[in-house]
């Protein structure tokens, strides 16, 4: 099943140009329309929040196309998006309007799910506040090798993070607390892995809201040539960091400490 989610951005509406830019990044080349990008990704259906329009002519055009709208006199109309939706519908891609989009896992490529594939295309601003589940269990009779294996498997299955905390259990036994951070709704999946691949006989979990910086892969010029990194932003805050593997490769090539490259400030503030 091929699915695409179109999410509203900070301006509370979708912009045709912004959507096209995101799809171009995913496709890896320029595209003439959203339909072209969606077809390239073999997307069969999109879920989209109602668009915002205020002008009467735009509302009439939206009604003709069967496009759901939220009337908003304070926002500029995006006629380009109406044209894009018309092309998408004509192409045979199914369009379904939904009142509210829950935070979703961001994928920038195809992800194998069982015997099918799903494509999740995030258009506009990535949700920066999301709810996650934190699973925990106390373990005092699994070997280091078993715990290492469990950590690898949990991460391979899509856990957001896995970490250990040293603790002391009954009869003064040294032990570890194994913690798994995952998407809400995946608790039973990861609890099963914990019970299968460690000696634990019980798993507990709780829910937390977390703020997430929006991330974008970038390539930057440095004294050591091109380095790969990621640019992160959140409500006006922006920072760029160098990826470790890229820094390690440059350190070997230029014969300098990897820490010097990692501490190099991309934005020139030091």
Taking only the tens place, the pLDDT of each residue in 100-149 is 544 444 444 444 444 444 455 544 444 567 789 999 999 999 999 999 99
If asked whether residues 191 and 220 sit together in one domain, one would say no
Domain boundary among the residues 170, 186, 209 is at: 209
If asked whether residues 98 and 186 sit together in one domain, one would say no
43 inside domain: yes
pLDDT at 178: 98
Main-chain phi, psi angles of 203, to 5 degrees: -130, 135
Nearest residue to 165 via CA among 151, 152, 179:
179
pLDDT at 118: 47
The answer to whether the CB of 124 falls within 8 A of the CB of 19 is yes
Domain count for the chain: 3
CATH code, 196: 3.30.70.1380
Q: What is the mean pLDDT of residues 35-60?
A: 78
Whole-model pTM: value is: 0.52
Structural domain of residue 172, as residue ranges? 129-209
The answer to whether the CB of 2 falls within 8 A of the CB of 119 is yes
108 inside domain: yes
Domain boundary among the residues 93, 123, 153 is at: 123
* pLDDT tens string 156-195: 999 999 999 999 998 888 999 999 999 888 999 999 999 9
If asked whether residues 193 and 244 sit together in one domain, one would say no
If asked whether residues 106 and 150 sit together in one domain, one would say no
pLDDT(268) > 80: no
The answer to whether the CB of 13 falls within 8 A of the CB of 52 is yes
If asked whether residues 136 and 198 sit together in one domain, one would say yes
pLDDT at 124: 45
If asked whether residues 105 and 135 sit together in one domain, one would say no
For residue 65, what are the CA distances in angstroms to 10, 87, 93?
25, 10, 14
30 inside domain: yes
269 inside domain: no
If asked whether residues 28 and 116 sit together in one domain, one would say yes
136 inside domain: yes
If asked whether residues 101 and 116 sit together in one domain, one would say yes
How far apart CA 67 and CA 50 sit, in angstroms, is 7
pLDDT(254) > 90: yes
20-26, long-range: CB within 8 Å, 24+ apart, which pairs?
A: 22/121, 22/122, 22/123, 22/124, 23/121, 23/123, 25/108, 26/108, 26/109, 26/121
Q: Which comes out higher in pLDDT, residue 219 or 70?
A: 219
268 inside domain: no
How far apart CA 12 and CA 76 sit, in angstroms, is 11
């Amino acid at each position: 099943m091929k699915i695409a989610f179109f999410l509203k951005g900070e301006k509370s509406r979708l912009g045709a140009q912004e959507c096209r830019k995101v799809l171009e990044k995913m496709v890896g080349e320029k595209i003439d329309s959203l339909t072209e990008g969606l077809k390239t990704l073999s997307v069969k259906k999109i879920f989209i929040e109602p668009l915002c329009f205020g002008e009467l002519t735009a509302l009439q055009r939206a009604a003709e196309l069967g496009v759901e709208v939220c009337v908003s006199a304070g926002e500029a109309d995006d006629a380009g998006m109406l044209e894009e939706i018309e092309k998408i519908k004509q192409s045979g891609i199914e369009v379904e309007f939904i009142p509210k989009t829950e935070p979703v896992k961001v994928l920038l490529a195809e992800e194998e799910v069982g015997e099918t594939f799903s494509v999740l295309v995030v258009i506009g601003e990535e949700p920066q506040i999301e709810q996650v589940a934190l699973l925990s269990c106390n373990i005092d009779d699994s070997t280091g090798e078993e715990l290492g294996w469990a950590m690898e498997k949990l991460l391979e299955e899509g856990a957001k993070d896995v970490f250990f905390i040293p603790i002391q259990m009954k009869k003064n036994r040294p032990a570890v607390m194994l913690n798994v951070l995952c998407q809400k709704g995946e608790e039973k999946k990861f609890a099963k892995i914990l019970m299968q691949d460690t000696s634990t006989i019980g798993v507990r979990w709780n829910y937390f809201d977390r703020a997430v910086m929006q991330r974008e892969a970038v390539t930057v010029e440095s004294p050591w040539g091109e380095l790969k990194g990621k640019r992160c932003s959140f409500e006006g805050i922006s920072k760029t960091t160098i990826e470790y593997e890229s820094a390690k490769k440059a350190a070997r090539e230029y014969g300098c400490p990897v820490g010097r490259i990692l501490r190099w400030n991309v934005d020139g503030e030091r």
